[in-house]
Structure 1
Amino acid sequence: MTSPSPDAVTSDARLARLFGLRDDAWLRHANPVSVWVRFAVLPLILLSVWSRRWIGRRSLLALGASLVFTVVEPLLFPPPQSTRNWASRAVFGERIWTDRNAVDLPEQFRSTAVPNTTYAFQFAGLAAMARGLAVFDLRSVLGGLLLVQCAKAWFLDRMVLLFRTMAERDPQYASWEY
C-alpha cells in the first residue's frame, strides 16, 4: 500500500478551489438546498442555449447568467441547520474525495473505477446534449440530460458511502455531521 501524497493535488481539488470551495465554503455548499439547486443548473444552461431559437443572440445573456450562477451557487447558501441528510453527506464525501491524495482512504474507495465510470456516462450525456442542441433534437437533449443527472446522482451516492465509512473510522469526519 502506498501512502497518500499531500503534495499531489487532484484535478477535483483544483476545480473545488476554482469554485471557491475552501473550509467554510464547503459547509455552505453542504446545505441540502444548494445540492438540489445544483441539479437545476444544467437544465437552465440547456434552456438558455435552446432559447436561441426564439430570442436569437439574446440567448447569450441567459447563458452568461446561467454560467455565473454555476460559479457562485455553492457560496449562496448559509451552512445547513443539520447535515444529517443525503445531500450534505454527499458534499462531505466529495470533500474527502478531492483530498484523496492527502487522506488514507479505505481500500474499497482507492480505485477510481466507479468515479471514472460516472464521468464517462456524464461525458456521453454531454455529447448527446451538445448534438441535440446543435440540431434542435429535443430527445437527444433530454436523453443526455437524464444520463448526466443519473450519473451525477450515482457519483454522489458513492460519495455518501465514502463519507459514512470515513466518519466511522475518524472522529474528525464524524464531527462534520450535526
Structure 2
Amino acid sequence: MNVPKRYARAVGMTDEAWKRHANPWSVWTRFAAIPLMIGAIWSREWLGWWALVPVALVVVWLALNPHVFPPIERPESWTARGIYGEKMWLRDRSLISDDHRNVQRLLIGVGSAGFALLGWGLVALEPWPTVFGATLITLGQLWRIDRLGLLYLESTGHTTTS
C-alpha cells in the first residue's frame, strides 16, 4: 500500500469523510492552514517551546478538517471534482492515463522542492525560501486538484466542465 493511501486510512478517510472533504470549505480552509502553520512554527522565535501550542492546534485542525463540513454528494464545484478525483486516484491508479501520471509526477517534484525550501526557510528563519517554498506547495496543490478534477470528469464520461 502506498503512502498516500496509508495516510488516508490512518486519518479515517471513509466514503463519508471523502464527501465531507470535497466540500469547498474543507479544501480552502486546508490551504489557509499553510500560512497558519508557517506562523506557528516561526513563532518559536518569540514563544519558545510554547510555539508547540499553535503548531498542535493547526495539526488538530488538519486532522479534523475532512470530517467537519457537510458532505458533497454531487461534485459540481472545481474543488469537489478535484477531491473526488483524488479519491479515485488513491483507490485505483490504473484509472490514470500516462498524461495524468506524468503530470502527477511533475507535481510531486514541485511539491517536494517546495517542501524542502519551506523546511529550510523555517529552520533558518529565512523569509525568501519560506515564502517561495509555500508558494510552490500551494501552486502545485492547486494544479494537482485541477488535474485530479479532470481525471474525475474523464472517468465519469464528462469532457468539459459545466
Same fold (TM over 0.5): yes
Identify the residue that residue 150 of structure 1 maps to in structure 2: 139
Identify the residue that residue 174 of structure 1 maps to in structure 2: none
Alpha-carbon distance in 2 for matches of 1:107, 1:73: 30
Percent of aligned pairs with the same amino acid = 32
Shift of 1:62: 0.8
1:17 to 9, 33, 48: 9
- The secondary structure found in structure 1 opposite 2:156 is helix
Q: Which runs of 5+ in 2 are unaligned?
A: none
Provide the alpha-carbon RMSD of the alignment. 1.8
Identify the residue that residue 127 of structure 1 maps to in structure 2: 116
Alpha-carbon distance in 2 for matches of 1:159, 1:24: 19
Higher helix share: 2
1:59 to 51, 64, 71: 51
1:98-147 Cα deviation digits (max 9, x unpaired): 0124xx526346x6321121111111111111111112111111111000
- The secondary structure found in structure 2 opposite 1:168 is coil
> How does the TM-score come out when normalised to structure 2?
0.89
Contact 1:10/1:99 (8 A) holds in 2: no
> How does the TM-score come out when normalised to structure 1?
0.82
Q: Which runs of 5+ in 1 are unaligned?
A: 1-8, 170-178
The structure with the larger Rg is 1
In the TM superposition, 1:6-155 aligns within 5 A as 9-80=1-72, 83-101=75-93, 104-105=94-95, 107-108=97-98, 112-155=101-144
Figure out how many residues of one structure are paired with residues of the other and give that number.
158
1:39-85 Cα deviation digits (max 9, x unpaired): 11222111100011111111011111111111111111111386311
